[in-house]
Amino acid sequence: MSSEKQPRRLSCAPYFDALWFCYSPVHQMQQYYRVGVLDNCSQKWSALFDCLTLKTKRSSEVEEILETREKAKPHLWSFRTPEEAASHWRELFDHLEEE
C-alpha cells in the first residue's frame, strides 16, 4: 500500500442529474407551490459548468481548488462559541433542573 494520497475522482454526473431533475414537472411544481415561481435552474447550470471547467484542469490544480472550497465552507458545529452554546442550552433546558 502506498502512503501517497490518491487523487479525487471528479464526476459531473450528480450535477447533470440535478440539472435534469430541476426541469422535471415534479420539481417545478414543488417550487411553484413553495416559492410561487418556477425554478430557472441557473444554480444547477452554474454547478454543472463549474464541474466541467474543473475537468479541463490538471489533477493537482483540481485537488487544490477542491481543498480550498472545503476549507471555506463553515463547519456544522462551529456556529456557536462555547459560551453561546452554554447560554442557549440553559435557555432551553434550565427549567428541567428545577424539578
**What percent of the chain clears pLDDT 90, i.e. is strictly above it?**
59
C-alpha cell at 51: 464541474
The answer to whether the Cα torsion of 30, 24, 9, 50 is positive or negative is negative
Q: Is the pLDDT of residue 24 over 80?
A: yes
pLDDT band, residue 10 (cuts 50/70/90): confident
The residue extents of the domains of the chain are 12-96
CA gap 30, 28 in Å, rounded: 5
Tens digits of per-residue pLDDT, 69-96? 988 887 776 677 889 889 988 988 888 8
53: left (phi over 0), alpha (psi -120 to 50) or beta: alpha
CA gap 58, 60 in Å, rounded: 5
pLDDT of amino acid 19: 97
**CB proximity list for 47: less than 8 A, separation 6 or greater:** 15, 18, 19
pLDDT of amino acid 82: 86
